[in-house]
Chain A
């Protein structure tokens, strides 16, 4: 099962996050957006390189 099809409660439990009734639906919508964002970044050429530092002061 892909993670976007995984029920949000199950995903939260696996991460040790307790969702309340007040937030569960909103969290699910955010998580869907975040999963889509991750898929979007996979499209980038060169994404396989190393992560960046927050800022590289050698760039002058």
Chain B
């Protein structure tokens, strides 16, 4: 097979049919990495030899029987906050240099058990604290940021270096880079995926999540990743039905609540693409009902007073022992978090209950199946000037600009799917998001899947990098067709 498949599902089908071998696919991904990394810088650490050995094992297994599942032989990039046995795991922090775990994080173990090939560790914002501070770059325009903190996982998938990225999301760290890199990314219901072996940013807010091109790819990954784990007491029981099996159920007849109070402060090109996406959803039989998200003015105060003290406590000893090696900005955030009075932290936890209650009432009162909104209000910002300037002259950093769109799901634990819905005049991805009731990831995935069937965005990819790039990019062909 001469061309790399664009999506995980296509690769899985090719492997299952014997048209593509895990070794071929892994070698092609490593070649892509070699070409793209000088500009994309998605990987903190590459495990080429281990990956090729795993691919050879996967190939031998195929000779002896059927694939372990749809991830059999699929190359993945793992955010550097997930422990990998025998491979350094540092959350891209010099403070953790030389830290080599003895066993895999639960999410990594599940991916490997499903046959996935771990290519290496992808870059995160240091300790996953922040959304912009990363050397990784956006494959759609390497002068721009991919967003974070799961920056490398998103950049790697968007650049075609792998077909699946494992990320983690606290205040938007899967959804932000998925949106800015033109991918589909899921923050599942809190408790869907085990956090065992994951370096924490905030214990009560963190949730692992997959990033891939399409909703089906995310569903296939979620099938492998989620389930109860005795090592993470927050995990929920195993789902009753495969997410991939439910993906063709369609969007006809669903009612989506349009989050009107997220619309006033949105980049013009994002607003235009999102309006078109709403029309396309209507054409699929979706009814759109205007709703107002509750307590939007109070999401950031509650988030800060939960996330920062938890991060400060999680890394207190590390700061004491190796703080001088860390980025001063990250260190300051963690130190400030340690100065939050207990009463203020608890006040935020009490506010969180109000957020959860208000969202429960919203779904019931408006009789909606999910909320729909722009994924983010902004396009990928320039790496050298990541401030967003609004028409009224105000400026916001990326985290501040994204907070109203991202933090409600964080505080409520609700599943949220970011998916591509357009492109700016300059060729940058634009995304939308769906926020569902607890455990209703399948509904979000089927809406995005139906949307993909009538739009080109999820299957398009940025132009490949490097001189030999023409060898292997179905995605580029799709991109050209869509322009």
Contacts and interface: CB of A to CB of B under 8 A. Distances in A.
Given A33-B304, A34-B308, A17 B354 contact: no
Interface string B341-369: 10010111111111111001000000000
Given A20-B323, A34-B304, A55-B191, A49 B353 contact: yes
B335 A23 contact: yes
Interface residues of A, number: 38
B350 A51 contact: yes
Nearest to B338: A17
Interface in B148-169: none
A49 to B, nearest CB: 6
A11 B344 CA distance: 15
Contacts of B305: 34, 37-38, 41
A49 B332 contact: no
A60 to B, nearest CB: 6
Contacts of A44: 295, 298, 351, 354
Interface residues of B, number: 50
Interface in A1-54: 3, 8, 11-12, 15, 17-20, 22-23, 26-27, 30-31, 33-38, 40-42, 44, 46-52, 54
B438 A59 contact: yes
A35 B304 CA distance: 10
Contacts of A33: 304
A34 B438 contact: no
A30 to B, nearest CB: 3
A26 B328 contact: yes
18 contacts: A3-B341, A18-B320, A26-B332, A26-B336, A30-B332, A30-B336, A37-B300, A37-B302, A37-B344, A37-B348, A51-B349, A51-B350, A52-B352, A54-B204, A54-B413, A55-B190, A55-B356, A57-B236
Interface of B: 189-191, 203-205, 234, 236, 295, 297-298, 300-302, 304-305, 308, 320, 323-324, 328-329, 331-333, 335-336, 338-341, 344, 346-357, 360, 412-413, 437-439
